Amino acid sequence: MVTQGAKSQDVFAADALHSAQTFMRLLDAAPLGMLVSTLDGMVVYANPAFSELLGHRPEPGHVFQFADLVSDETNAITRLHFERLLRGEVSVSRGEHQLRHVDGYPVWAMVGATILPAEGDTPPLILVQMNSIELQKRAEEALAASESRWNFALESARQGVWDHDIRTDTMFYSRMWRLMRGIPANEEVDGDQAKWLERVHPDDRPRIVANVHRQDRGESDFDTLEYRERTRDGDYIWILSRGRPVEWDAQGNPTRTIGTDTDITRIKKMEQELAAEKERLRITLEAVADGMISTDLDGRIIFMNPAAELLTGSNAATTVGQSVRDIFHLRSEHGEEKLPCPVLACLAQSTQIRIDDDSVLCALDGPRRDIRATASPVFDAAGALSGAVLVFQDVTQSRALQRQLAHSASHDDLTGLPNRASFERGLSAAIVSARNGPRQHSLVYLDLDRFKPVNDTAGHAAGDALLKQVAQNIRGVCRSHDLAARIGGDEFAIILEDCPIAHGRAVAEKIVRAIGALAFSWAGRDYSIGASAGVTIIGARSASPLGFMGEADAACYAAKAQGRGCVVAYPDMAAS
């Protein structure tokens, strides 16, 4: 039978796998080169388009930094761009950078970078997009020599060109600029800026109006603009517009700005899908009732969901980066013995570790909870161990119910003493221990005297109350490790561990005296009862459980024959 916890784990695992596969599929299908790196520049992912762009084809275990890709000529500029991004001065860094192909020659690329903040189990990362602008660069270099070659290069790269004459406030648009907007190649386009702004999406228009003049002035932070523009068929496409001044007047004021527009609708759609997948994963993790902790290869926590915070009594904001064994404290259910951390065992063995029983989670804020946990290894794309995920459930109520059911199955409902089945198991164990070693145990069989009149005259409720008092008296005389059980209506049996016959008889006599002195009143009437007991020894001699019980029963019968209220030892009977 599959438990609810296992179902929740399966659902989580399926959702996580689907999200990861979707994420990788979208990145792998991106037409632009894309890298994901840590904040210190260590590359952790590169898509196929990147490999095509620079020739680098990362192999498993191969580690490199983004700085390794930048040519010496633009290294300083590139470093400044990324430092501004890391300092938070800009949210998106975009610029032209000269990169180094694996064969050694330089490659110009438009590089955009943004920081993906830490969220869920993902640390802060830098997402880098790069698009080759080699054709554009070559076209710029050859512009003076060959206008046709310039146009051909840009169109081959699907770059729409615009030319803004600031003095006359007129615009020139290239053929590709028209085509990407669904405008016929030879159709005249009104270059009035107001006409263009009418096509810009209303949500983007205020930002563009506020910044387009800054692009004309050549401000470095505003040489690239992103916005949505309505095409001839009514749809909106995302435009990446790059431009800068190329001519100035005598006073140094820009008089002409040239730029290119790129349709980045596919990239934006991919970003939105990735964001949606990430949000669905976040909501799923927060909604799951099971505690979830993700760690790195060294067992340091990198993610905790709200359920894990509640169960461990910790806060994710302060525990991230700490060792999981400092947060996840397990102890034995039957004592204070500290249990090994399942996550560290999982990482050491590279295999799944399950904890199903005898495990108590000691929360940092005090509560102790019975738990069930599974620690599973996490492998990267190359098959190398990269961390572990711990999923655990609070099973305090279910285990309490199991204990209650187990107690009910082995104990008498009325007196709380072990029942006959439990006693027989204990008797078998005592016989084995005596047979295999120099141990002796005393077996006492006890039958109440004058109990039937209480039931007949006062009723069964009175009889039940009396039996409870008798059971308390028996427990009060016996040691904590002795086994006292109710094996019939008014019959009891006791195993006195490591107790010779003489001492066993003395204990039986003490029990008989305690029962005889019992003062029991019911409905204003006093009742007096007694008990007779037989004692035998469980030793190394061969005998079956039925044989030892038969001896004790026979001794009890002899005690009743002698006038009740006394104890008879079976060895004395056998000797006479």
CB count, 10 Å around CB of 177? Answer: 23
Residues 465 and 567 in one domain: yes
534 shares its domain with 425: yes
Domain-terminating residue out of 89, 107, 137: 137
Same domain? For 527 and 428 the reply is: yes
DSSP for 380-408 reads -TTS-EEEEEEEEEE-HHHHHHHHHHHHH
Please identify which of the residues 223, 370, 490, 553 carries the catalytic annotation: 490
More confident residue, 399 or 443: 443
Does the CA dihedral 247-253-254-255 come out positive or negative? Answer: negative
293/363 same-domain check? yes
Q: What is the pLDDT of residue 17?
A: 46
Once rounded to an integer, what is the mean pLDDT over residues 187-196? 84
CATH number for 553: 3.30.70.270
Dump pLDDT digits (tens) for 339-375: 888 999 999 999 998 887 778 888 887 788 888 888 9
pTM reported for the whole predicted model: 0.42
In a domain, 241, yes or no: yes
Residue 425 and residue 395 share a domain: no
Q: Of residues 330 and 437, which shows the higher confidence score?
A: 330
Based on the fold, state whether residues 175 and 223 are members of the same structural domain.
yes
Per-residue pLDDT tens digits for 267-314: 888 888 888 887 777 776 666 778 888 899 999 998 888 888 888 888
Contacts 24+ apart (CB under 8 A), 551-557: 551/443, 552/443, 552/444, 552/445, 552/493, 553/445, 555/445, 556/445, 556/446, 556/447, 556/532
What residues are paired with 36 via a beta bridge? 45, 127
Domain boundary among 357, 372, 399: 399
- Cα separation, 118 vs 302, in Å, equals 10
Tokens encoding 294: 């993700």
Residue 280 located in a structural domain: no
| 327 & 263 share domain | no
Q: Say if residue 127 is in the same domain as residue 166.
A: no
In a domain, residue 142? The reply is: no
What confidence category does residue 445 fall into, taking pLDDT thresholds of 50, 70 and 90? very high
Q: Is 490 a catalytic residue?
A: yes
Contact 343, 324 (CB under 8 A): yes
Tell me the residue type at 561: A
Q: In angstroms, rounded to a whole number, what is the distance separating the alpha carbons of residues 276 and 303?
A: 19
Tell me, yes or no, whether 368 lies in a domain. Answer: yes
Instruction: Band the pLDDT of 576: cuts 50, 70, 90.
Output: low
Domain extent, residue 305, equals 288-399
Helix axes 396-410, 420-435, angle to 10 degrees: 80
- Interacting residues of 470 by C-beta distance below 8 A, sequence separation 6+: 415, 448, 492, 515, 518, 529, 531
Tell whether 561 is covered by a domain.
yes
Residues in the chain: 576
Q: Do 117 and 262 have their domain in common?
A: no
For residue 346, the domain's CATH number is 3.30.450.20
452-480 mean pLDDT: 89
Asked if residue 274 belongs to a domain, the reply is no
Q: Is residue 251 part of a domain?
A: yes
Q: Are 39 and 126 in contact (CB under 8 A)?
A: yes
Report how far apart the first and last C-alpha atoms of the chain are (Å, whole number).
Answer: 61
pLDDT of residue 1: 43
For the stretch 205-214, contacts whose Cβ atoms lie closer than 8 Å and that sit 24 or more positions apart, written own/partner, are: none
One domain, residues 297 and 221: no
Q: Is residue 275 part of a domain?
A: no
Together in a domain, 460 and 338:
no
Q: Which of 523, 528, 537 is nearest to 564 (CA)?
A: 528
The most confident of the ranges 158-167, 185-194, 383-392 is 383-392
**Do 423 and 563 lie in a common domain?**
yes
Count how many domains the chain has: 4
